[in-house]
Amino acid sequence: MRAVIQRVSRASCTVNEEITGTIEHGLLVLLGVEEQDTISDMKWLAEKIVNLRIFNDSQGLMNRSLCEVNGNILLISQFTLFAQTKKGNRPSFIRAAKPEIAKPMYDQMAIYLNELMNKKVALGIFGADMQIELCNDGPVTIIMNTQDKNNF
Catalytic residue numbers read: 80
Whether the ω angle into residue 139 lies within 30 degrees of 0, i.e. cis, is: yes
For residue 80, CA distances in Å to 18, 31, 118, 142 come to 23, 9, 29, 16
Cα separation, 141 vs 117, in Å, equals 20
Our CA angle for 6, 50, 98, nearest 5°, is 70
